[in-house]
Structure 1
Amino acid sequence: MALKLFEEPKLENPVMIASWPGIGNIGLVATDTLKVQIGAEKFGEIEPWDFFYPKKITIRGAVLESLEFPACTFHYKRLPKRDVIIFAGEEQPTDGRRPFAEGKKAYEMANMVMDVAVKFGCKRVYASGAAVSLSHHALKPRVWIATSSEALNREMTGYDNTVLMGRGEGRNEGGSITGLNGLILGVAKKRGLESVCLMGEIPDYLSTAPLPYPRASKSVVELMARVLGAEVDYGPLDEMASHVDEIVTGIYDKLPPEIRERVEQRKEIIQRKAEKITEEEGKWMKEHIDDLFKKGDQAA
């Protein structure tokens, strides 16, 4: 396994933003949007062969032409307020038993990403993922915050539309962040860097849905843009969100009335302790989610 750098840019006071696929692909869509909008340039990659199986094999004229692996790339951009390195992994290394990374390969990849952060003088690393919450798809998703220190918590919750992890539903509880979007925070702290996780809210009843949730990605991008002092055109993200909203509405309209009634109450009590859907209701949704999405997509 190897880290390949095509260029060694001179960066001033950079931060790193890292993301991998996860629930609703909230973090990955956010970082990809930011990367495109600020015009970040690719300068390196992590070679994938020791981490992943090929995702596609190309044959031309009955001859093997290429193996296509998930990409793990580094981009950079010099900005007036602070420079930024963006790492995006198309897949999390896994042993096949779980959808999110764990074990030796995950730890090795996290350290390789941190090698780049340290090499270019990053003092802080941001990761981005999803926060499954008792929210409602018609409400603006908030960004849940988890950091490596109380001082960072105070700094990050000074931005609009943020809430500390575990307190988003009127509770003062801890929690866990699965996969590399969480592991990278611990590795960063171990290596002496500040770390922040930005988690866009996704309603619990959409957390197993096989589609992105760009409304939450937009909330994360808005926060990233404020941190970096970057200008972002949200048009493409809004267009994606509009399409997904149509599908979600089609699905939601087909939920059993008792589930819809329970979820609708959240619009009024979101700042208090919202009510979970019951275990039986959750089981029903998992069993029917694929059928609901087929019907919802047809309706949209």
Structure 2
Amino acid sequence: MDWWRLQDSSMHDSITLYDRPELRHPRMLLAWPDPGHVGLRVVDYLRKKLRARGFAKIRPYDFSVAPWVSVKDGLMDRLEFMKNEFYYWKDAKGSSDLILFRSEYPAVNIYEYVCLVLDVASEFGVKRLYTASSFGAAGITHREEPVVLGVGNRVGLKATMEKYGIKPYPEYKGVGNIQSAFLWLAKKRDIEALSLWSPVPYYIARLPFPWSNYPKCSLAMLQKLV
């Protein structure tokens, strides 16, 4: 079995699949927490607008270190590990359905986590996926219109970026992130992947949530996707 692939012929045990929809040429959109709450807002808008249905989760225990807890009146009444869920939407008027994935960041075993998400993508025939995110950037202000930057894992995606007004991400060499892992490992599975970024003004990105909310970037990214 290849090191970038956790499954052979059946879904991995770490994935809880509670529905198996028949999807046509689905595309996939993924998001995690980011400065400005940009990516998750895009996914949540589509999820609610399209009434997408949940169908799978990754069992979180291998990817969490410190759980989220709730305490009231001296009693712990809630404990949650890494929250995540897959959703699907069937396009009755088109030929391509949609899978949405929203998740908290894994604290450990990042590459295993990425492989599990790609297992779901492969299982349902995804041939292109997108990640949606943001970062805090100096030199821009809230008075400017947001831009959307893109990084692809195939040369052919540069034409897609040009067509939809997505600017190629400037040259970078340094520490990567989970989006980098998705681009690289998706390529090994013959899946096109495009990582989208819409930078948020640094002075807003550094604020604690919810004051760091920046829906302008979410709208800019949504317009590119739809």
The interval holding the TM-score normalised by the smaller chain is 0.7 to 0.9
TM-score, normalising length from structure 2?
Answer: 0.83
How far apart are the structure 1 equivalents of 2:51 and 2:174?
33
Match of 1:141 in 2: 146
Q: Identity, % of aligned pairs?
A: 29
Q: CA RMSD in A?
A: 2.2
How far apart are the structure 2 equivalents of 1:129 and 1:144?
10
Match of 2:57 in 1: 45
Q: Which amino acid aligns with 1:217?
A: S
Greater helix fraction, Structure 1 or Structure 2: 1
CA apart distance, 1:175: 5.0
How far apart are the structure 2 equivalents of 1:46 and 1:76?
15
TM-score, normalising length from structure 1?
Answer: 0.63
CA apart distance, 1:17: 0.7
1:232-273 Cα offsets, whole Å, 9 max, x none, are xxxxxxxxxxxxxxxxxxxxxxxxxxxxxxxxxxxxxxxxxx
CA apart distance, 1:108: 0.9
Match of 1:101 in 2: none
TM-aligned CA distance change 1:152 to 1:176, over 3 Å: farther
- SS of residue matched to 1:220: helix
Match of 1:36 in 2: 48
How far apart are the structure 2 equivalents of 1:175 and 1:215?
28
1:96-139 Cα offsets, whole Å, 9 max, x none, are xxxxxxxxx11111111000000000001111111544322111
CA apart distance, 1:206: 3.0
- Alignment map for 1:128-207 (pairs within 5 Å): 128-133=132-137, 134-160=139-165, 162-166=166-170, 173-175=171-173, 178-207=176-205
Match of 1:213 in 2: 214
- SS of residue matched to 2:61: coil
Query: Higher Cα Rg: structure 1 or 2?
Result: 1
How far apart are the structure 2 equivalents of 1:187 and 1:25?
25
Return the match for 1:108 from 103, 112, 115.
112
How far apart are the structure 1 equivalents of 2:177 and 2:41?
17
Which consecutive residues of structure 2, in runs of 5 or more, have no partner in the other structure? 1-12
Q: Does 1:54 align with 2:67?
A: yes
Q: Which amino acid aligns with 1:192?
A: D
Which consecutive residues of structure 1, in runs of 5 or more, have no partner in the other structure? 96-104, 167-172, 226-300
How far apart are the structure 2 equivalents of 1:176 and 1:38?
38
1:187-234 Cα offsets, whole Å, 9 max, x none, are 211222111011112123433222222111111111122xxxxxxxxx
- SS of residue matched to 1:13: coil
- SS of residue matched to 1:23: coil
Q: Which amino acid aligns with 1:148?
A: N
How far apart are the structure 2 equivalents of 1:32 and 1:176?
31
TM-aligned CA distance change 1:28 to 1:148, over 3 Å: same
Q: Which amino acid aligns with 1:200?
A: S
Q: How many residues align?
A: 207
Return the match for 1:94 from 100, 107, 110.
107
Match of 1:83 in 2: 97
